[in-house]
Amino acid sequence: MAAGMEQSMQKTVVITGAAGHLGRAVAQAFGAAGYRRILVDLDEHALRDAYGGAGAAGTTFVGADLTDANACAALRAAVEASDGVEVLCNIAGAFHYGAPVHETSAECWRRLVDLNALTLIHAAGAVVPSMQRARSGVVINVGAAGHLSGKAHMGVYAAAKSAVARLTESMAEELRADNVRVFCAMPDIIDTPANRRDMPEADTSAWTPPEAIARLMVLLADPAAALLSGASLPLRGRPAI
């Protein structure tokens, strides 16, 4: 097969929050699966630091504040410059453990909802129209197993991640006729250096490695997972493989 034909058959994935631990694992997994990658984070310099300067061939860095609709122009331009985007992984988000609900500030509420839900909406706005035109695509949102029920001092976080699950369900229904599948991956505690640092006394034996989550996200991009569209999938534990 000619090199030009191979390149034209390559799929493209957009990954938000790509400079973080999970984002880097997901980028590596999709790269290993042969995808071209559009990697998005707040700061392009952070992306270059995370991926070593210019990054690998077939990789585009986009610095954009996804809480700002106007700042998404750079992502839209990258999508338009590609041959089409097959997969969007919405990983951008933030965790919060703090004040009880009755002491939660409006600023904290807005920050958590903006970072976890509004970034999803803006990224989808930049990417999904191209999927609709192609009548094919996959959106994988990242929620949290902790949003299945409220927890003390994590009410605002649970509410923000619950919004991600409801947005996933709504998107799945809205886009079903366009053959665009939408999923919500819900990790429990991810085994990252930051979490180990913040919880030094915790038992990490059941924490989930980001690489395992990344492999599952690649599997969700396969058409065989279409029957699961709209599902929120709790991810817990440390797989043997």
CATH of the domain at 38: 3.40.50.720
CA distance 162 to 142: 11
176 CB neighbour count, 10 Å cutoff = 14
Is 228 inside any structural domain? yes
Q: Per-residue confidence of the chain (241 residues) as pLDDT tens digits?
A: 444 444 457 899 999 999 999 999 999 999 999 999 999 999 999 999 999 876 678 999 999 999 999 999 999 999 999 989 999 999 999 888 888 999 999 999 999 999 999 999 999 999 999 999 999 999 999 999 876 778 888 889 999 999 999 999 999 999 999 999 999 999 998 999 988 988 888 999 889 999 999 999 999 999 999 999 999 999 998 887 6
Gyration radius from the chain CA atoms = 17
Q: Which two tokens stand for residue 103?
A: 């002491």
CA distance 192 to 180: 31
Is 240 inside any structural domain? no
Is 36 inside any structural domain? yes
User: What's the chain's length in residues?
Assistant: 241
Give residue 71's domain range: 3-235
- State how beta strands 36-41 and 232-235 pair: unpaired
Q: Which run of H or of E encompasses 12? A: strand 12-16
Is 241 inside any structural domain? no
If one counts the domains in the chain, the total is 1
Is 66 inside any structural domain? yes
DSSP state at residue 72 = G
User: pTM of the entire structure?
Assistant: 0.93
Beta bridge pairs of residue 141: 90, 184
Angle at 241 between CA 189 and CA 59, to 5 degrees: 75
Is 125 inside any structural domain? yes
Residue pair 175/197 in contact by the 8 Å Cβ criterion: no
CA distance 213 to 20: 14
Is 12 inside any structural domain? yes
End-to-end CA distance of the chain: 33
